Structure 1
Amino acid sequence: MFFLYLMSILSIVVQAVFVTLAIASGLYYLAELVEEYTVTAKYVISWTVVITTALHIGLMIFDDLPLHLNALGLIQQTLHFILLREFPVVRVANPAFIAAVATLLLHHYVAFKYFGMVYYNFSEVLAYFTLCLWVVPFALFVSLSANDYVLPTTGEKQPLLGDNNVVTDYLSRKAKRYSLLSFFSFAKDSILPQRNKKAF
């Protein structure tokens, strides 16, 4: 019986590794899609914000969730609309971005407190957190890597321009930024073995 217990612990570790790799590869693929199709990504995220707003209004009308919980969700979706105006550019020092992060944290706190006091099925609580709290911030988080490929798209310095021009300064600042896709690319290059191409 003890050996089977140790095997169950080992299988949980193996399953956690597989789930982590699956999530990482899914995030990598989504980040590449967002970088390739930024206009479509903005369209999808905008409609996700509209649907999430409609869900909050539906919860206010048809369910007995507290008004302040749904009001926080509506404020959060309004801030997401404001952030989408400049998509794919995301400025961390932007007051709308700071307010969106603050309302996300406050919304989590209020939702955990409410669902801790009032009994709901686990599937209902998970549905609220997934659809009303996590979908839009997750989509915006994945789309952060698209910010690195905003015009100008060339990464080369032109020799006719001096070192103190606008384009060179912009490209040198852009090269130092880190994104979700660059993190996953680094992880892929450092973890997975590379094939050596033969030169003929």
Structure 2
Amino acid sequence: MYLLSWLLLFIQMAFIMLAIIAGLYYLAELIEEYTVATSRIIKYMTFSTAVIGLYIFECFPTCMIGMGLCTNLVCFGLLQTFPLVMLTSLNFILLCGLVEVNHYLEFQFFAEEYYPFSEVLAYFTFCLWIIPFAFFVSLSAGENVLPSTMQPGDDMVSNYFTKGKWGKCLGILVVFSFIKEAILPSRQKIY
């Protein structure tokens, strides 16, 4: 019975992981389909996070609130070219660094001050994780967008031919499509 319970726990965890992957895949498809609405939603989430960080959590240290506001400003900068999020852009690299510093400050604060776990989890989810998670899921939204403005040095045709198919498609949908094909291969049509 002991071994059976461990086996069933493993099977349940596998089903939970498959459900999360399917949900993320569906969410990435929605974001790819509605990029303008997604940009607005991320903008409103960033603004509401900044307002909540300023007014509701005013008992937090000033450096922690300031770092959160700096992170939100970098998020607004990243939204300027939203469907096209370049992983090598200064805004994206700065956002990754600020998120790590912000996490360090938050962990340090919550290690010294007691708050119930549910409140800490709610704070981390809404004020720290939701915006980077939204950008992570929307990384594949810029893959199929036609170029609307040309910046110096950006030639989409030559960039496509020099990098090839995999240089262009490095988003989360490619990863999920690979996992889907590995787990559930599609059937071949017989003529």
What is the TM-score when the length of structure 2 is the normalising length?
0.87
Q: Give the C-alpha shift of residue 174 in structure 1.
A: 6.3
Alpha-carbon distance between aligned partners in 2 of 1:66 and 1:174, rounded to the nearest angstrom: 48
Query: Do the aligned residues in 2 keep the contact of 1:60 with 1:67 (CA within 8 Å)?
Result: no
**Residue 123 of structure 1 aligns to a residue in which SS?**
helix
Q: 2:36 aligned with 1:36, yes or no?
A: no
- The match for 1:22 is 19
Deviations 1:145-198 (A, max 9, x none): 012112159xxxxxxxxxxxx553133236223110011111111210322333
Pairwise mapping of residues 13-162 of structure 1 onto structure 2 (< 5 A)?
13-61=10-58, 64-152=59-147
Going from structure 1 to structure 2, the CA distance change for 1:80 and 1:174 (only over 3 Å counts) comes to farther
Report what 1:10 is aligned to. Answer: 7
How far apart are 1:12 and its partner, in Å?
2.7
- Structure 1 position 7, deviation (Å): 3.5
Query: TM-score by structure 1 length?
Result: 0.83
AA paired with 1:109? Answer: Y
1:10, CA displacement in angstroms?
2.6
* Match in the other structure for 1:169: 158
Percent of residue pairs bearing the same amino acid type: 41
Separation in 2, partners of 1:65, 1:13: 40
Code of the residue aligned with 2:56 in structure 1: it is L
Contact 1:89/1:147 (<8 A) preserved: yes
Task: Give the ranges of 4+ consecutive aligned residues of structure 1 lying more than 3 Å apart after TM superposition.
Answer: none
Cα drift, residue 71 of structure 1: 1.4
The structure that has the greater radius of gyration is 1
Contact 1:52 1:132 in 2 (8 A): yes
CA root-mean-square deviation: 1.9
Moved more, 36-45 or 190-199: 190-199
